[in-house]
């Protein structure tokens, strides 16, 4: 009986993985078609997957940047999404974008690979361990001191390394005081419990501060979620 149950479970997992893979392939096709004639995304070379964002995140991110045109963008974790974000801020000079990353060697390697094609604004931010509800999580240190009083329209959370619970929880320290009236928070790796913990805590803080918001999640190979002000509801339906 146990072996039969295991076979059913393995079969279910295989079907689920196949469905997610097909969704990822479809997103890749949609993303490639969407950016084909982009006037600001000139360097269209991306390497999604693995530790990097997947095509689902790249598509959602592009739609937010291109359709919403956020004035101030904050990103946690330097990677494939940074290529898009900093091309955006380099083209639209009335916007700003900043990425926080802890690994100085990776920052230099990343910048060398761009060969000066566009300006990048990357700040080194140390990591620290923090205990939340009995669980240890890894976050960027003193994040509120780094951002000050700046208001952001878009915050992408894809760093630091994921933690089993309350992953990348530094974003909660910026809510709601560093959110502009019109805002979107995009969390990568929403398939993991740690990111779901953080998502729930963000929503709890917004609710406690009587800030209206809408949410959505997208299931591809890794999955990602968005929390937006109500005026950006369309982002939850991409």
Cα–Cα distance between 205 and 184 in angstroms, integer? 15
Residue 76 host element (H or E):
strand 72-76
Give pLDDT tens digits along the chain (238 positions): 555 544 443 433 433 455 556 777 788 899 999 999 999 999 999 988 766 789 999 999 999 999 999 999 999 999 999 999 999 999 999 999 999 999 999 999 999 988 778 989 999 999 999 999 999 999 999 999 999 999 999 999 999 999 999 999 999 999 999 999 999 999 999 999 999 999 999 999 999 999 999 999 998 778 999 999 999 999 999 9
Gap between the terminal Cα atoms of the chain: 43
What are the extents of the domains in the chain? 2-237
CA distances from 185 to 20, 86, 175 (A): 23, 17, 10
Q: Look up the CATH architecture of domain 2-237.
A: 3-Layer(aba) Sandwich (3.40)
Q: Which two tokens stand for residue 183?
A: 């805002």
Other beta carbons less than 10 A from residue 185's beta carbon: 26
pTM above the 0.85 mark? yes
């Amino acid at each position: 009986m146990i072996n039969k149950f295991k076979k059913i479970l393995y079969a279910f997992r295989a079907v689920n993985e196949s469905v997610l893979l097909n969704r990822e392939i479809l997103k890749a096709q949609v993303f490639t078609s969407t950016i084909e004639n982009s006037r600001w995304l000139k360097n269209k070379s991306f390497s999604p997957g693995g530790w990097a964002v997947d095509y689902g995140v790249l598509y959602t991110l592009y739609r937010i940047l291109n359709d919403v045109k956020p004035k101030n963008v904050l990103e946690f974790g330097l990677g494939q999404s940074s290529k898009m974000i900093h091309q955006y801020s380099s083209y639209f000079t009335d916007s700003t974008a900043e990425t926080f990353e802890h690994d100085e060697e990776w920052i230099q390697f990343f910048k060398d690979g761009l060969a000066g094609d566009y300006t990048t604004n990357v700040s080194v931010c140390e990591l620290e361990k923090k205990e939340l509800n009995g669980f240890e999580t890894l976050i960027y240190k003193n994040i509120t001191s780094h951002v000050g009083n700046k208001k952001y329209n878009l915050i992408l959370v894809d760093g630091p390394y994921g933690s089993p619970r309350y992953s990348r929880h530094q974003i909660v320290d910026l809510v709601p005081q560093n959110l502009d009236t019109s805002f979107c928070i995009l969390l990568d790796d929403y398939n993991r419990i740690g990111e779901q913990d953080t998502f729930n805590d963000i929503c709890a803080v917004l609710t406690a501060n009587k800030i209206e918001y809408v949410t959505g999640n997208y299931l591809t190979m890794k999955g990602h979620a968005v929390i937006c002000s109500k005026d950006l509801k369309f982002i939850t339906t991409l």
